[in-house]
């Protein structure tokens, strides 16, 4: 069946229909996905469901994997393949972890718009999230194209921010969403990193690089830095920039972490299971975990 690419939003996001991920990706599929990602930044591959092995194989066609860390900041209680991040609400027995439990508090930071792994030194490229079990309601994922956000900024703001460097800190970002009790050992395990506030994509478009992990500006006071970051965050999260993805079983959603933000919406009732598993790829380098990089 021939592949077709259909836009899903006036600004960005598209679906690819007709891709077969049960076989090794050929040049046509790789080229179609690469072109769609460069144009749309978020791409949904409609597939009837693939295995973990097929998910991982497809991901590796586009870059080396970032492997999940073993620092306890993700739910890794389930025995998944070592290449997969577990973004589910399930425990080791496959049962629902209560939304208000301590085990789920850390994950609440994902409910604020962010970009995956901006708190790492390694340059994360894409994330690829596969829906194994999706609830009939709730659990949507919201996306923002920060290229479009940058384009829409007033010129005076662009001139002000183009050369700034932001500080990204996993733990301070989580504290800003209400997490308490972070230890010095945890802070030392993932120290702050720095990234330019405006990134230029390989094809020339500029993108705003902010989100929930951005907590400072190099050379600025905390108050001034957070005021600017919050101002940019408020501008970026306007409704006109947001694509809401309503999940279907077997959806593989790919987003470019260099030029998008995303957030999860919670399943507050604990009524439904949600089993979604993510691979993340880097632009270059060996396959390694964030722990090793730190």
SS (H, E, C) the chain: CCCEEEECCCCCCEEEECCCCCCCCCHHHHHHHHHHHHHHCEEEEECCCCCHHHHHHHHHCCCCEEECCCCCCCCCCCCCCCCCEECCCECCCCCECCCCCHHHHHHHHHHCCECCCCCCCCCEEEEEEEEEECCCCCCCEEEEEHHHHHHHCCHHHHHHHCCCEEEECHHHHHHCCCCCCCCHHHHHHCCCEEEECEEECCCCCEEECCCCCEEEECCCCHHHHHHHHHHHHHHHCCHHHEEEECCCCCEEEEEECCCEEEEECCCCCCCCCCEEEEEEEECCCCCEEHHHHC
For the chain, which domains are there? 4-293 (3.60.130.10)
Per-residue pLDDT of the chain (294 residues; tens, 9 = 90+): 689 999 999 999 999 999 999 999 999 999 999 999 999 999 999 988 899 999 999 999 999 999 987 654 444 456 688 899 988 888 888 888 887 776 656 566 678 899 998 888 877 899 999 999 999 888 899 999 999 999 999 999 999 999 999 999 988 888 887 778 888 888 888 889 999 999 999 999 999 999 888 999 999 999 999 999 999 999 999 999 999 999 999 999 999 999 999 998 877 778 899 999 999 999 998 888 766 655
């Amino acid at each position: 069946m021939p592949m077709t690419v259909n836009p899903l939003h006036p600004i960005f996001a598209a679906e690819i229909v007709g891709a077969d991920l049960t076989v090794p990706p050929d040049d046509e599929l790789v080229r179609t996905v690469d072109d769609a990602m460069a144009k749309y930044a978020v791409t949904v591959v409609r597939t009837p469901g693939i295995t973990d092995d097929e998910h991982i194989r497809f991901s590796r066609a586009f870059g080396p994997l970032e492997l999940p860390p073993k620092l306890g900041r993700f739910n890794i209680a389930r025995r998944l393949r070592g290449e997969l991040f577990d973004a589910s609400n399930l425990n080791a027995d496959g049962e629902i972890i209560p939304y208000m439990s301590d085990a789920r508090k850390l994950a609440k930071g994902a409910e604020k718009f962010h970009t995956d792994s901006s708190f790492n030194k390694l340059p994360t490229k894409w994330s690829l999230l596969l829906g194994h079990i999706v609830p009939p309601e709730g659990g949507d994922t919201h996306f923002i194209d920060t290229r479009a956000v940058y384009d829409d900024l007033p010129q005076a703001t662009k001139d002000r921010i183009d050369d700034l460097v932001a500080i990204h800190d996993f733990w301070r970002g989580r504290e800003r969403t209400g997490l308490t009790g972070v230890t010095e050992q945890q802070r030392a395990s993932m120290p702050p990193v720095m990234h330019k506030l405006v990134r230029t994509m390989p094809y020339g478009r500029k993108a705003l690089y902010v989100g929930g992990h951005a907590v400072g500006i190099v050379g600025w006071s905390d108050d001034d830095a957070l005021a600017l970051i919050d101002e940019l965050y408020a501008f970026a999260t306007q409704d006109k920039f947001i694509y809401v993805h309503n999940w279907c079983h077997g959806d593989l959603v790919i987003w470019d972490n260099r030029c998008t933000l995303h957030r999860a919406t919670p399943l507050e009732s604990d009524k439904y299971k949600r089993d979604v598993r993510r691979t993340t790829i880097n632009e270059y380098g060996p396959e390694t975990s964030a722990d090793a990089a730190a």
